[in-house]
Amino acid sequence: MLFLKNPQEAHLQCLTFKKEGKSIGFVPTMGALHEGHLSLVRRAKEENDVVVCSIFVNPTQFNDPTDLAKYPRTLEADRRLLESVGCDLLFAPQEQEMYPAPPVLRFSFGHLEQVMEGAHRPGHFNGVALVVSKLFHIVQPNKAYFGQKDYQQYLIIRQLVADLSFPVEVVPCPIVREADGLAMSSRNRRLTPAQRREAVILHQTLQEAKQRLLNGVSVEEVKKWVASVFAPLQKKDIRLEYFEVADGYTLSAVKDIHRHKEVVLCIAAYVGEVRLIDNVLLFS
């Protein structure tokens, strides 16, 4: 596996792959890799000649400096994992190489960034769009792979690619879960053992909410039920930030599930000081 830190060197190597007639599958990450990331690499390996993975903890998408400081960084362990699943090139730049000067460009994604994560993390998706645009220019991938745990991010990137005409196919990949249902996340390793056991409440709540909706319970009543589940958990320092039932394509609020082709149930909650997100598709 090639390991490059310099953006220009990585770009030239990717151009070499292209000149050799090889297709490039790209998996952008912030490191602290787990089986969810590795599943993306395996999928990219199946569908492309070459797989490129990036590791970069992108400062512009963090609206909380403490969260940025505490984000796990495990580059050497990540390198070994990527090598074990057949990654061909790891690109791991330094911050000053990606942002030699403070960026001034601002993206607007309309309603897509005004709800859920966008509402609770101002500027987050502008930072995501900035770094993904830079990475697409450097790597020049044919396909880019994103996990659906960050469902709103996937829709944002799909919009970015459409509006800027990036010649990239954005490939959404299913959420990979622990045995008890907790969505795999780099943030999970910050949970204490007790918090880790409690964190499964996110997945359990989504599954029960999905079943209630399919059984004919109204969206309004399901939202009230979710709030009632989390209310007593505050004594365990588990706090619901939001639970939304949204259109799976536009993220507009859903009142009647039968008027939409796809509906996504999204949740965000704090377990201690660790913020976790999860989602489930209603009709899939």
Backbone dihedral angles phi then psi of residue 139, each to the nearest 5 degrees: -85, -30
**CA-angle at 18, arms to 172 and 5, nearest 5°:** 75
The Cα–Cα gap between 179 and 167 comes to 37
Backbone dihedral angles phi then psi of residue 103, each to the nearest 5 degrees: -70, 145
Q: Which two tokens stand for residue 230?
A: 């989390």
34 belongs to the catalytic site: no
| 166 touches 136 (CB < 8 A) | yes
Strands 263-271 and 238-247: antiparallel
37, 124, 203, 260: the active-site residue: 37
Q: How far is CA 196 from CA 60, 63, 79, 166, 175, in A?
A: 28, 24, 26, 39, 18
Annotated catalytic residues are 37
